[in-house]
Chain A
Amino acid sequence: MFKKVWTLMALAALLLIVAAPAQAGKTWDQIQKSKELRAAMLTTGKPFGFHDDKNEWVGFDVDMAQEIAKRLGVKFVPVKADNNTRIEFLVTGKADLTLANMTHKRAREESIDFSITYFFDGQKILAPKGKFKELKDFVGKKIGTMQGTTSEVNLRNLLKGLGDKNPNVVSYQDEQACFSALEKGIIDAWSTDSTLLLGYAVQAPGKYELVGDFFADEPYGIGLPHDDSKWRNTVNALLQDMFKDGTYEKIYNKWFGPDSPYPMPLTRKIEMWP
């Protein structure tokens, strides 16, 4: 018995030692070696990343990531993420980049890096049609949002600024829960990035509307592992190339063009370096 125990202990110790040196190299080198691009994206963020009626995983972010992989000449490996995991994946090396309609925020810079802004969005509030006129009307109302997003922080700050001492904010785990809750009237309104709101609102045409102005800018950046400037430069250059040769616009129009369910004309140009 004791011999067995010792063998087990030794095995366990060995496992720990063997497992330890599995350190990630620099992202760029690793991609060159593995010939794979692991891109983390959302599965419930319509129209950025979601499952269509053939159960295919599609969306603006998915197309963008696919294009980046194509241009790098490596295999595209999609990784499923959510609002709580999209940063964690970069920190723990489960993904090489994340396109998960993630706002470029200074607080996030402490843990990860961002590419240049590849999509401009802002936060709004979606509510049943005709019920609210302006942002002030939401004081004291029950408003839903997603846990782990900048929207949550912005919404609380907005309501506090409008004089709501104890904002009634409910944080769900994903977009779908928010929309369900809004549909059922459990919450009075749902606040997050306007494109996400529109993506859901078009499912029930004429029933919901965006109320008030943008109250926070939400510039989306591609999330990248911390302190890896070679990789960051590569991604930035790729984005600018895509914008220059029209690929970006093609993908953009596929999801937000005049024929799409949520038309939103492309008005801003991404940052270009000569």
Chain B
Amino acid sequence: MIRHYLEKTWVQYLVLALLALSAVGYFVFVFHFGYGYRFDWTVLYKENPSYGEVLGHLLIDGLALTLAISLGSAALALFLGTVFGLARLSKFRPLSLTATVYVEFFRNTPLLVQLFFWYFALPMGLPEDLRRVLYDIRLDLWGLPVNFEFLTATVGLGIYTGAFMAEIIRAGIQSIPKGLLEAAFSSGLSFTQTLRKVVLPLAFRAIIPPLGSEFLNNMKNSSLAMVVGVPELCWSAQQIKALTFKGFEATTAATVIYLSLSLSMAALLNMVNLRLKILGEKERGFGHKMAHALFKPLEIFLETLAEVLRPSPRPVSLTLTPFQATMKRLGLAARKVLIKTGKALYLALLAYTLYLLAKGLASLDYGLIGENFASLLIWRFPHGDPSESLMGLGGLSLSIFMAVVAISVSFFIGLFVGMGRAAKNQIARIPSLLYIELVRGNPLIMIIFWIYFFLPIFGLDLDVFWSATLAMTVFTGAYIAEIVRAGIQNVSRGQFEAAASTGLSYLQTMRLIVLPQALKQMLPAIAGQFIAIFKDTSLAYIIGVFELTYVGKIIANRLMVHPFEIYTTVAVVYFVCCYLMSLGAGKLERRLASDTFRLNM
């Protein structure tokens, strides 16, 4: 009986509405917020008497900076990604090797460590005068404060995201069938012509969707700029909290802003994806039509621009005059020489960089690294004091432990939520959807803040380590849910129908037929997610968990004189771990390879 009613959509909505209502009612009338927290939303829009300003303005300024950093770094990342993505495919080995090193190094170390490196360590390698100029930059671009901190954050973020984009672009270009290239070359197109007229237009169709989600990640990652003193959105929320102790209100406001940014970006990306789908005029649904209408002005603009810029057709004669022939030969010869010199110059530059790097590495104090290496790996295990969870375990082993706990628990969350997300029943679908979008629409730092600072208001009390681990779990759960959903939806419709007609129930179908197939496909993606969460454990440093980054900071704090040694070691340790894991993931992917999926991370 209940089952019959639950299959009706209106019943499903009604149940959800009732649940939501009772939750709201419960929190408003029955529940007492822990420790007598008093809500005061006026801090956001009323002038604060102690400071004589409206603190909500901080959020607006923060938002402007977040947007500026996101846009600037996205542009840089796109540029770097294209350059290095193409460079990875180059036949000139030194170039492709450099690109590989760039991609692997920056993808496999945490952004947080990279930002510390760019901000504190790198300028030390520059000449004094140049350094001074950099540090003293202080511009005002339409009210936007541009300084060394801002530039470091933007460039650092751009370089980080660029490495991911390079991989996407490389994969996109390599997805072009070889036959097309051969056809292009045999019809006499030059390399640049092939690239411009054949490869890129096709590759972009494959590249744009993953590129879009990279832009989204980039925006969320901009929240890390706060560690180098940029007052962006997350910083501003912290600032309001510090000034007024109204953390709940400030963080809610920041969360809402991040969420609306993410959702509008996601909506735009959706439109782009719809627009890119090749469909006949009749097959287009409402969404496709909307997308077409939305991008029409842009298309018209680009077409006009192309029309204006197109060179007037030159009269072409197939035979060259002797003069033209000589010129052409000369041109070709000059090009060869140019390419040769270019390669030589590049090699020289590379050699010089390597020399600088070797010199820098040789000048490190290895005794110091040796003395502290054990601390970086395990901190004080097993001689920790009572303030430390897990007998003083810390450093690398704690990071790994956190990542393992988070991925194991979130796997099950992801499995259920992913199934819920793929289900037809609204009671399962809508809460799953809300969870996924809410979590994925916010930077991990915000999730950590919520779990750590605001769970106690709801009466749950956890120490730093478990709060951070819970935050990672909740965060990863949403991503795994998306992987699971994609896996389920990849299983063909017919199998569901076949299962239903043999009398299997929904759960049986899932357990016996769909999930076994989907899980095999999902494994590489989950491995990628594990690497990502391992890198993200570095963010737990912000609330003082003794993972690798924090231990590095504590040691650098004590030594004071040589922080460079410690930060380099931390970066190398992260890199080695992540790189080995990604090699393993790659192997796994090849072993499970079928042609329907590809590792995305």
Contact = CB atoms under 8 A, between A and B. Distances in A.
A binds B: yes
A94 B461 contact: yes
B2 A2 contact: yes
Contact of B135 (A23, A56, A149, A186): A186
10 contacts: A1-B507, A2-B427, A22-B34, A52-B558, A55-B380, A80-B544, A82-B544, A88-B453, A93-B461, A171-B239
B385 A57 contact: yes
A174 B131 CA distance: 23
B560 interface: yes
Interface in B44-83: 50-51
Interface in B409-462: 416, 423, 425, 427-428, 453, 456-461
Contact of A81 (B544, B556, B563): B544
B425 A88 contact: no
Contacts of B423: 1
B138 interface: yes
A88 B245 contact: yes
A22 B461 contact: yes
A26 to B, nearest CB: 12
Contacts of A43: 544, 554
A87 B50 CA distance: 18
A161 B488 CA distance: 64
A5 B245 contact: no
A203 B461 contact: no
A56 B379 CA distance: 11
A25 to B, nearest CB: 11
A92 B138 contact: no
A181 B120 contact: yes
A82 B543 CA distance: 8
B245 A110 contact: yes
B459 A173 contact: no
A52 B428 CA distance: 53
A186 B555 CA distance: 21
Contacts of B254: none
B557 A87 contact: no
B543 A85 contact: yes
B136 A19 contact: no
Contact of A147 (B136, B238, B427, B456): B238
A1 B543 CA distance: 40
Interface string A70-101: 00000111111111110110011110000000
A168 B138 contact: yes
Contacts of B120: 180-181, 184, 186
B560 A2 contact: no
Contacts of B542: 173
B459 A20 contact: yes
Contacts of A51: 554-555, 557-558
B394 to A, nearest CB: 9
B310 interface: no
A179 interface: yes
Contacts of A87: 245
Nearest to A156: B51
B148 A179 contact: no
Contact of B561 (A80, A110, A204, A225): A204
Nearest to A90: B35
A16 B26 CA distance: 10
A175 to B, nearest CB: 8
Nearest to A36: B386
A144 interface: yes
Contacts of A56: 385
Contacts of A20: 31-32, 458-459
A185 interface: yes
Contacts of A1: 423, 425, 428, 505-507
Contacts of A46: 557
Interface of B: 2-3, 6, 19, 26, 31-32, 34-37, 50-51, 119-120, 123-124, 131-132, 135-136, 138, 147-149, 226-229, 231, 235, 238-239, 241-243, 245, 247, 375, 379-380, 385-387, 416, 423, 425, 427-428, 453, 456-461, 464, 505-507, 542-544, 553-558, 560-561, 563
Nearest to B462: A94
Nearest to B371: A53
Interface in A181-216: 181, 183-187, 200, 203-204
Contact of B459 (A8, A22, A78, A148): A22
Interface in A96-134: 107-108, 110-111
A127 to B, nearest CB: 14
A111 B246 CA distance: 9
A179 B560 contact: yes
Given A2-B425, A81-B544, A186-B135, A171 B231 contact: yes
A200 B19 CA distance: 55
Contacts of A81: 544
A4 interface: yes
Nearest to B3: A2
A65 to B, nearest CB: 11
A97 to B, nearest CB: 14
Contacts of A225: 35
Contacts of B458: 19-20
A142 interface: yes
A79 B387 contact: yes
A53 to B, nearest CB: 6
A55 B379 contact: yes
A176 interface: yes
B385 A50 contact: no
B367 to A, nearest CB: 14
Interface string A1-35: 11011001100000010011111100000000000
A51 B459 CA distance: 32
Contacts of B556: 176, 180
Given A22-B460, A50-B557, A78-B387, A153 B51 contact: yes
B158 to A, nearest CB: 20
Contacts of A93: 34-35, 456, 461
A186 B37 contact: no
Given A21-B459, A173-B542, A44 B557 contact: yes
A39 B132 CA distance: 43
A70 to B, nearest CB: 14
Contacts of A55: 375, 379-380, 554
A149 B506 CA distance: 57
A264 interface: no
A85 B561 CA distance: 28
Most B CB within 10 A of own CB, among A8, A83, A174, A180 = A180
A142 B136 contact: yes
Most A CB within 10 A of own CB, among B231, B459, B505 = B459
A52 B380 CA distance: 13
Contacts of B239: 147-148, 171
A44 B551 CA distance: 12
B35 A53 contact: no
Contact of A80 (B123, B387, B506): B387
A266 interface: no
B241 A92 contact: no
Contacts of A8: 416
A80 B460 CA distance: 18
Contacts of B26: 16
A64 to B, nearest CB: 16
A43 B554 CA distance: 8
B561 A203 contact: yes
Contacts of B51: 153
B131 A5 contact: no
